[in-house]
Structure 1
Amino acid sequence: MYIGEILKTLDRVSTGVPGLDELIGGGLIPGRVYLISGPPGSGKTTIGVQFLVAGARNNEKGLYISLVDDPKVIIQDMMKYDLNILPYAKSGKIVFYDIGYHLLRIEQKLTWRELFVKIKDVVSAERPKRVVIDSFTSIEQLVADPENKRREIGNFIRSLEELDVTTLVISEMLSSDNYTDEYYLASGVIVLHHFMRNYTMIRALQILKMRGTPHDSNIKRVRFSKEGIRVYNEAPF
Structure 2
Amino acid sequence: MYVGELLKSLDRAPSGVPGLDDLIGGGFLPGRVYLVVGPPGSGKTTLGIQFLMSGVKNGEKGLFVSLFENPKLITQDMLRYNFGLLGHVQAGKIVFNDFGQILFGAGRKFAWDELIKYLLEIIRKEEAKRVVIDSFNSLEYSVVDPENKRMALGKLMRKLHELDVTTLITSEMMSSESYTDEYYLTDGVIVLHHFMRNFQMVRALQVLKMRGVPHDSNLKRIRFTEEGIRVYPEAPF
Q: TM-score, normalised by structure 2?
A: 0.96
Structure 1 consecutive aligned stretches of length 4 or more whose deviation exceeds 6 Å: 6-9
Q: Deviations over 1:140-166 (max 9, x none)?
A: 211111110011100110001100000
> What is the count of residue pairs matched by the alignment?
232
* Structure 2 residue aligned with 1:188: 188
What SS does the corresponding residue of 1:13 show, helix, strand or coil? coil
* Structure 2 residue aligned with 1:172: 172
Say if 2:72 is the partner of 1:47.
no
Tell me the distance in 2 between the aligned counterparts of 1:8 and 1:19.
18
Q: Deviations over 1:153-201 (max 9, x none)?
A: 0011000110000000000000101111111000000000000001100
**Structure 2 segments unaligned to the other structure (5+ residues):** 1-5
Tell me the distance in 2 between the aligned counterparts of 1:210 and 1:155.
20
Tell me the distance in 1 between the aligned counterparts of 2:108 and 2:174.
26
Tell me the distance in 1 between the aligned counterparts of 2:118 and 2:177.
31
* Structure 2 residue aligned with 1:80: 80
* Structure 2 residue aligned with 1:20: 20
* Structure 1 residue aligned with 2:70: 70
Tell me the distance in 2 between the aligned counterparts of 1:144 and 1:100.
17
What SS does the corresponding residue of 2:116 show, helix, strand or coil? helix
Q: TM-score, normalised by structure 1?
A: 0.96
**Equivalent pair of 2:7/2:212 in contact (CA under 8 Å):** no
Q: Using a 3 Å threshold, how does the CA distance of structure 1 residues 236 and 7 change in structure 2: closer, same or farther?
A: closer
**Equivalent pair of 1:133/1:168 in contact (CA under 8 Å):** yes
Shift, 1:136, TM fit: 1.1
Tell me the distance in 1 between the aligned counterparts of 2:207 and 2:75.
27
* Identity level (%): 62
Tell me the distance in 2 between the aligned counterparts of 1:234 and 1:23.
12
Q: Deviations over 1:90-140 (max 9, x none)?
A: 100000000111210112211111001000000001001100000111232
Amino acid at match of 1:74: I
**Equivalent pair of 1:137/1:171 in contact (CA under 8 Å):** yes
Q: Deviations over 1:190-237 (max 9, x none)?
A: 000000001100000000000000000000000000000000111000
**Equivalent pair of 1:65/1:98 in contact (CA under 8 Å):** yes
* Root-mean-square deviation (Å): 1.3
Tell me the distance in 1 between the aligned counterparts of 2:47 and 2:68.
18
What SS does the corresponding residue of 2:105 show, helix, strand or coil? coil
* Structure 2 residue aligned with 1:218: 218
Q: Deviations over 1:13-68 (max 9, x none)?
A: 00000000011010000000000000000000000000000111222100000111
What SS does the corresponding residue of 1:182 show, helix, strand or coil? helix
**Structure 1 segments unaligned to the other structure (5+ residues):** 1-5
Amino acid at match of 2:90: K
Tell me the distance in 1 between the aligned counterparts of 2:22 and 2:50.
16
Q: Which moved more, 1:196-205 or 1:133-142?
A: 133-142
Tell me the distance in 1 between the aligned counterparts of 2:119 and 2:102.
12
